[in-house]
Amino acid sequence: MSRTLSLAGLFVITLIAGFGWRDVAKGEAPRIEDLQAVLAGKPAGTKELQPTETFVQALANVDALHYGPENRQELTHSAVAGMLSALKDPHTILLEPEAAKQFQEKNHGQFVGIGAELTRDALGAKVRRVFKNSPASRVGLKPNDIITKVHNSAVAGRDLLDVVNDIRGPSGTSVRLTVYRQDAEEPLTFEVERRQVQIQDVYGEVLSGPNSQGKLLIGKLEIRSFSETILAQFDEELADLESQGIRGLVIDVRGNPGGLLSAAVEMAARFLDNKVITSMKKRDGRPETFFSRSGLANGRTYPVAVLIDAGSASASEILAGAMRDYQRAVLVGERSYGKGSVQVVKPLDDGAQLKLTIARYYLPNGESIQRKEAEDGEVLSGGITPDITVENGPKAVQGDMATDKQLRAAIENLQSKLR
């Protein structure tokens, strides 16, 4: 042991002596920070910098030496994004100002526009849905209309987001749309005034035709997102279906990326009375439990099926998982995404926002559904496996009874319970 200590001491002394000789040769006393750096295993002359100091030093060198133009905001945001990427959490991200604005609009359930949902089409931008009581609905725009021009600018071949941004604008201004409609002899022109629009996140329909000769009516509620305004829409659409005498219900959260945790808990309360819907653990390990409120289920006992797929995440999985755990619904479709984490949004002064993971959530049975992936991206675990696994083909159209095998399987399951 003494020999080992002696060798170690000799090594340190030799290093110190080396620095001492170097400094003496320069006519300087050895610097204590250099000696401390050596003893800590760091190169001499290095200094522990705070993150802000490191960034300021790097930025100063870019300003002083870099050949070429620079965008200060891009440099800053890239630095922040790089810092967040080191956390290896895909849900902790920087939202650029425009993305932050759209994120807030989606959560608030409102935006300024014409009130139409668009998809890509070879001829232009196809209208998938027209929101209720929107400017688009008031001028007569219809689903399957194809917007070929915005003002005088052709739409075909353009990025859909660019087209949407052209259609949007300040409230009270107008946008002129040229539209191709299949049963119209000539292109149609609409002058649409932009207004504050409530995003329609819930769509209800009766699937089994008129209630005659004992036919079993099945209702369907498609939920697109969990925003601040979704509960009023959900209650309105559900009440309409129940007034038509439905005896079973399909809740479709396929492709629904989630939204507000509180909205999922409140929606579950429409079917689960005073139950644990989810629990959450933050970094301190202390659990926080979320219960459904009493008195909202209104004695509903009809069977329910929930449709899920790989695009169902976060709040969608909380709702589906709770309905499954209490055997209130059968889950049909494909394994869900597996987002078992909770984020909070922190605004930055320049309009950007930090979206930070602050907790993990757990289903009522204690299960964590957090997605785990291999380095090559293969999904190893996570998500919710449906009770009835059904894969749709590549040509399937969600909601189309002829091609949507998942929807048909859900309806068949409900009808089997009603016969």
List active site positions: 314, 339, 343
Find out whether 175 and 169 touch, Cβ atoms under 8 Å: yes
- Centre a 10 Å sphere on the Cβ of residue 39 and count the other Cβ atoms it contains: 11
Cα separation, 394 vs 405, in Å, equals 11
> Is-contact 371 382, C-beta < 8 A?
yes
For 22, phi and psi rounded to 5 degrees?
-60, -45
Query: Which residue has tokens 């979206």?
Result: 355
Sign of the alpha-carbon torsion through 3, 9, 12, 18: negative
C-alpha span between 117 and 154 (Å, rounded): 19
Give the Cα separation of 211 and 215 in Å (integer). 6
Residue 192 is given by DSSP the state: E
Could you count the other beta carbons within 10 Å of the beta carbon of residue 2? Answer: 6
Q: Are 407 and 399 in contact (CB under 8 A)?
A: yes
CB 149 within 8 A of CB 161: no
Helix then strand count (H, E) for the chain reads 11, 21
